[in-house]
Amino acid sequence: MTKTEKLQYLDSMRNSIYPSKNELYRMAVSYTDELEMAQRVLFKNKVKGKFNPLRYIASGSFSKVFLCEDAEGQVCVLKLSLIGTELDYKACISELNAQKIREEKNLKSIVPYIKGTSSIYEARQTSCLGYMPLQFVMPLGISFKIFLNNLLEGRKLTLKEATFLIYNVFTLIRELHSHNIVHRDIKLENLILMISESEKTQLMLSDFGTLRPFVSKGMYTQKVQTPIYTPCRLRNGDYSELTIEQSKKHDVYAGGIIAYQILDSHIIKNTTDAKYEMLAHPKQLPCPKNCNQRLWKMLKQIICNGNNIDQIPDVKEVCKILEEIMFEVHTKQYIPNTSRQRKSSYEVHESKSVPKSRYGRQNNNSNLGYGAGASAGFKPKQNEYDYGFFQAPKKIEHKKKKSVYGEKSSNPPQGGFRPKKNTGSNVARERKNMQSIIDSLLD
């Protein structure tokens, strides 16, 4: 394949797997929560500038993330960093350094901050103890973890799809390492899908609190927060005796753990997940079913050498092998079909109150995500009691007067909050709120 053909293939894969601009915005808003009173108070007291909080996105080890509207009415994401220790202060300085490097080196792999709306640059002249929380403002996006959870609903990835996604992750690492920068906290939550300047969906890196631009060895000691993505040798945070090339193996190892989850079509939810312990100590890790021998050999060399990082290949070697595998699979199996209209695979219901289905996370006429419902094979008989193929005995239900509390019950709550009559559903109000945000983004 020529270089032009390879670029065309990568572009077609991106368009077929990643969500479009409209789909991405809908997903991003759908995975937010309604603001609680405590979050509103925190936002009002700590955030500087004319920002209006719309929704709550998530919280990290020392920060909280909000969906906001700025003074010009543009929807954006605001990350509020709560500085309590010297370590938090250093993490914020690292975030500043990442943005400076991004501008100087024109790096496309780093999530950009919106200029003119952040108060981050004041940190350089202020001590840790006397400073208010820092705020970082960035464009709207979704985490790679949310994207993969939607992509993997009810299906397995093909080798072609999985290899493309893995290659995309390692090319981000390759760009950082080419400038002697080590991220040290690469994980699914810190990979963000955003809309680029060319209006295409692009994968980027975020959260640079542990970033280190290397100039010499013996300077960098800081314990990381996510052990599963860290080689065993480095879980104590000691980089003092490592060379630049050895330190880069941390990011390659993290990429290998992400790659295994993609190939296995199983995203680890938390530390209680059965696969968590296997990946934390991966000597007995089974080969994913859709993985060919060459890819598995490379992956094992990465994730099974946590105690011997010199044996982990560098990112350039990994990307070269992935390119060869990816384009080999393309020439053998992939036949582009430009006439086929791709149906949206990222339709996310606007309300979190949709009932769960036995076949997937949500039941939306079996069309949410990739195969959220059963499409073939045995389907248990459905009835109002949802007992599968067992028919439940019919019950005689006496008609009861519908109460103002939304249930067929004559027993109102005995105390506490009593809803007003005919106020409508909280779910309906939340759906209307979400839809207005989506509409403003798509205008």
Model confidence band, residue 425 (pLDDT cutoffs 50, 70, 90): low
Q: Per residue in 20-70, pLDDT tens?
A: 999 999 999 999 999 999 999 989 888 888 889 999 998 877 789 999 998
How far is the CA of 310 from the CAs of 216, 305, 314, 422, in angstroms?
18, 8, 9, 67
Q: Are 170 and 255 in contact (CB under 8 A)?
A: yes
Q: Per residue in 430-441, pLDDT tens?
A: 776 777 887 777
**By C-alpha distance, which of 87, 144, 83 is closest to 111?**
144
Residue 179 scores a pLDDT above 50: yes
Residue 128: half-sphere exposure toward Cβ, Cα within 13 Å: 12
- Who has greater pLDDT, 248 or 122? 248
Q: Are 153 and 371 in contact (CB under 8 A)?
A: yes
Mean per-residue pLDDT over the chain, rounded: 75
d(CA 337, CA 49) in angstroms, rounded, equals 49
pLDDT of residue 66: 94
pLDDT of residue 350: 43
Residue 94 scores a pLDDT above 70: yes
Q: Looking at residues 228-257, what average pLDDT do you find?
A: 83
First to last CA, the chain: 40
Q: Which residues contact 201 (CB under 8 A, 6 or more apart)?
A: 14, 18, 19, 20, 21, 24, 193, 194, 195
